[in-house]
Amino acid sequence: MSQPAKQVNMREAMPRTAKWVAEMRERHGAQYIDRCIRAALAGERNQFYAVEGGHVVGTPFDWSETLRFLVTMSIVSGGPYVAAMRDPAGDVDLVVVPPAATNGGANGPH
């Protein structure tokens, strides 16, 4: 018989995302940011999306083909962190940390 999946503490598993979300709460208000996160967790696009350390949370944005390519290439080449959140004006706050910005260097982590 299979075991149920172990619950993951996302704040521990995704510390950069947790820090960024805290900054977004200070900038735009906790109520607004929490509403975006809940909507994304329910499957609504263009609200919140983050990838960090092999974990993904939220629902992707309807990005242009070029931006989708850049985000994907950052992740597959070892970039440690990507996060996006809709701001109250309807724009998108986007953070993409490329592999060269980490200790992994230009070729990603080893």
What's the whole-model pTM score?
0.79
Q: Is the pLDDT of residue 109 over 50?
A: no
3-class state of residue 83 by DSSP? strand
> According to the model, what pLDDT value does residue 86 have?
92
**In the prediction, which pLDDT does 45 show?**
95
Looking at residue 7, the DSSP 8-state letter turns out to be P
Cβ atoms of 45 and 85 within 8 Å: the answer is no
Q: Judge whether residue 9 has pLDDT over 70.
A: yes
Which string of DSSP letters, residue by residue, matches 47-89?
A: SEEEEETTEEEE------HHHHHHHHHHHHTT--EEEEEE-TT
pLDDT given for residue 106 in this prediction: 43
Q: What's the pLDDT score for residue 102?
A: 54
pLDDT digits (tens, 9 = 90+) for 42-99: 999 999 999 998 899 999 999 889 888 888 888 888 888 899 999 899 888 888 877 7
Map residue 54 onto helix, strand or coil.
Answer: coil
Model confidence at 107, pLDDT cuts 50, 70, 90, reads very low
